[in-house]
Amino acid sequence: MKLIVFKKSVLITVIAIIFAGIALGLCAGALAASASAGQTGRTVVIDAGHGGVDAGVLGAESGIKESDINLAIAKQLKGYFAEAGFKVIMTRTANGGLYGLPTNGFKMRDMKKRKEIIEKSGADMVISVHQNSCPLKSRRGGQTFYNPESETGKILAECIQDSLNSMEECVKKSEPLAGDYYMLRCTENPSVIVECGFLTNSEDEELLSSSDYQKRVAYAIFKGAVSFYG
């Protein structure tokens, strides 16, 4: 009897290893395919929105800060882009904002610092990571924004939106939207804001609070962004 139990456990382990191998193989394949884009020396700026006293939207149920979720997803994104051979610049890597002291005008100082980082980097692409809110609590899912004056920005937003729409958790496909936002006007090169989901919706809030989903949504953004060069 013990022998049978042992065999079963070995079998389960072997199956688990095979599945893990297949999963790793698939991921490695996708990354290898995108590595050719990185070898051209492209620089991507990943901008985790908000930070410090500016928490952004708060989760309706848990009070989780948008700024913390943005940073977690931005860090995952950085890993994918770096592994694919891109030069990655983060506007922030810690929980604090970029405004110095939280005195009058801190929000504009924060935004200007981000713009300065983008300009200095010579960014080929900018991805700002945010989380959404809506008075209509049923609203869910990812939403990309682009500068209406940027044709390439629109294409990048479409690529990332398609990828977000193809996630199994996507309940309703969205179209990218034009938006006149400061962060979309920091470079001539394609720049997008990605709102990964709605913190005013409890299902989205739960997903966005989990590190597993943060990783998967980051991979969907990465995959969409890389397809822009495809």
**List of residues 6+ apart from 229 with CB closer than 8 A:** 37, 42
Q: Cβ closer to Zn ion: 132 or 189?
A: 132
| Residue 131 CB, nearest approach to Zn ion (Å) | 6
Instruction: Show contacts with Zn ion in window 113-142 (CB under 5 A).
Output: 130
By C-beta, is 145 or 213 nearer to Zn ion?
A: 145
Residue whose structure tokens are 């050719």: 36
Q: Up-side HSE of residue 108: CA atoms within 13 Å toward CB?
A: 3
56 forms part of the interface with Zn ion (CB under 5 A): yes
Count of residues interacting with Zn ion (CB under 5 A): 3
Minimum separation from the CB atom of position 22 to Zn ion (A): 37
> What's the closest the beta carbon of residue 30 comes to Zn ion, in angstroms?
28
Cβ atoms of residues 152 and 224 within 8 Å: no
* E strand or H helix at 56: none
The only residue of 34, 42, 49, 193 in contact with Zn ion, by rule CB under 5 A: 49
Shortest spacing between CB 220 and Zn ion, in angstroms: 18
Backbone angles phi, psi at 60, to 5 degrees: -60, -35
Is residue 59 close enough to count as binding Zn ion by CB under 5 A?
no
Structure tokens at 140: 């869910």
Q: Which lies closer to Zn ion via its Cβ, residue 34 or residue 144?
A: 144
Residue 190 interacts with Zn ion (CB under 5 A): yes or no: no
- Rounded least distance, CB 84 to Zn ion, Å: 26
Mark 189-223 as b/e (b = at least 16 C-beta within 10 Å).
bbbbbbbbbbbbbeebbebbbeeebbbbbbbbbbb
Which residues of the shown chain bind Zn ion in the complex (CB under 5 A)?
Answer: 49, 56, 130
